[in-house]
Structure formats: structure tokens, C-alpha cells
Amino acid sequence: MEIISCNNGGGGEKPSDKNDSNVAVKNTPLPNQASASLIKGSVDTLYTDATSFKNLPKKKKVFFVVTFASPDTLTLHGWTTKSGQYDTDPKIKLIKGPAKTVNQNPIYFGSVKLDKDDVDRVKYVIDSAHATYVLFNPVLINTNHVGYEITVSDEKPGFNKLLVTAPTGAFANPSPPKTN
């Protein structure tokens, strides 16, 4: 079992983590100093309800594409493929969750892929854990490429709350593929 602390940066102290695996979506330069060589920013944990995830076709990869949902919201929408053909509308849309902070320069943020075995693995864990939500938790792969570790929970992600999650062993890997 994993516990995730969610904080949207709305004031107060933020949890500290030596192995911060979050990445920057909104890049905010540090003060103009000669020693300031990092970019500080935030990225959102993304989520969907378990039923939407379970409705994805079996034995199909899902390609998630960065989507601008509003002027200040980046999220991911996912498509499955049929012999290299894609439907016009996405099969799944992820929802913006709590933001996390990271210091890293540069950050490569883009489309990610969830392999068909990982899709089936997440569905299995949803059923066995009786989960109601699927979370896409940002992680850095190969130091500066954004990927997502997939966990499940029976609690809706919220701001400034501890969330108990179960690991699935699945990762949405940056596309083109990187190792995780």
C-alpha cells in the first residue's frame, strides 16, 4: 500500500521528498541568479474513475496525448488503436488532480503510452482492490522524461489530503519509449 500526500500549492508547507518524482508542466524560472540553473514548476496528478478505465478494450495499447483542457489546464486524453487507425474521439479523458512541485532542467513532457499488458494489469488490480479511481502519478524516467506510475484508490483525489493507494506495477511510458 502506498500513501500519497496531495497539495495544490494553495499555501502552507508542502511535503518534502528527497526522491521527488514529479515533473514541471508550468515552468517558472527561479530568481535571476548565476547559480540558479534549475526550473521550478508543478505538474498535476491525473485521474479517472475506475469504470471508465475498465471500459477500455482488452489487449489494446492506449496512447495518451497532451491536451489543453482550458487556458491553464494540461491533461491527457487516451486513444486505443485498431490496426493503426484511431477513432476521432478519445476512449478516456483524465481529470486534473493535485499539483506537485519539481526542480529539474530540462523536462521533456509529451505523449505517453500504456502497453496492453499494463492496461489489463490495472483492470485486475481495480477488481481485486475494489478501487473506484485510477491515478496517474507523474514520475521522471531517464532523469528528465515525464512518465506516469499508475495506482488505484477507493478515494477520490483531493487537494491537501492524504490518499491511500494500491500500486499496479503499470507505467505510462513516454513516447518515444524510455525505460522505467
pLDDT at position 40, please? 63
Residue 104: Cβ-neighbour burial (10 angstroms; 0-12, 13-18, 19+):
middle
Check the CA dihedral 127-131-134-135 and report its sign.
Answer: negative
Q: Output the average pLDDT for the chain.
A: 77
pTM for this entry: 0.75
pLDDT at position 91, please? 94
Among 136, 124, 115, 128, which Cα is nearest to 60's? 115
- What is the pLDDT averaged over residues 112-132? 95
- What is the pLDDT averaged over residues 105-118? 88
- What is the pLDDT averaged over residues 72-76? 85
Least confident among 33-37, 55-59, 88-92, 130-134:
33-37
- What is the pLDDT averaged over residues 58-85? 85
Q: Specify the higher pLDDT residue, 23 or 176.
A: 176
Residue 176: Cβ-neighbour burial (10 angstroms; 0-12, 13-18, 19+):
exposed
CB 4 within 8 A of CB 137: yes
Which residue type occupies 31?
A: P
- What is the pLDDT averaged over residues 81-110? 82
**If you search the block for the grid coordinates 514541471, which residue do you land on?**
24
Which pLDDT band holds residue 149 (cuts at 50, 70, 90)?
very high
Relative to beta strand 92-93, strand 73-82 is antiparallel
pLDDT at position 116, please? 92
pLDDT at position 178, please? 64
Among 8, 25, 6, which Cα is nearest to 135's? 6
